[in-house]
Structure 1
């Protein structure tokens, strides 16, 4: 990201900008992600899908629930706990 930001010739505070140099709107990000999903034959792809996928990945890799909670910005840990419940693959060889 640092390399990308240093290659830009502006001093805008946003990581991703549109063609007018403004920050991307929520709708623009939804549109872009959805179009990528269509082009790659992944139906109903949304930014929230990517967020969930990332958190399931972290849970399956054994990352701490508090870390995932903080990453997601959840105030209540029970909202984050469902990522660890479905991550049963982590426990497959526990009793062998």
Structure 2
């Protein structure tokens, strides 16, 4: 659960997916993408100036 919470926290705070992958030690990016898919507001401020 701690690993899951850490991955979700990093993804929700805008950290790079590849950096999260390296930090968590995932060999396959598909294991890391599950954290980025859960963040619904990740692109909320994407187009704001």
**Which of the five TM-score ranges fits, normalised by the shorter chain?**
0.7 to 0.9
2:40 is the alignment partner of 1:88: yes
Whose radius of gyration is greater, 1 or 2? Answer: 1
- Aligned equivalent of 1:18: none
Deviation, 1:95, is 5.6
How many residues are treated as equivalent by the alignment?
A: 48
Q: TM-score normalized by structure 1? A: 0.45
Q: Which is bigger in relative contact order (C-alpha 8 A, separation at least 6)?
A: 2
- Aligned equivalent of 1:73: 25
Q: TM-score normalized by structure 2? A: 0.81
Any gaps of 5 or more consecutive residues in structure 2? none
Deviation, 1:93, is 3.9
* Matched position secondary structure for 1:91: coil
Measure, in 1, the Cα distance between the counterparts of 2:17 and 2:23: 10
Question: Cα RMSD over matched residues?
Answer: 1.4
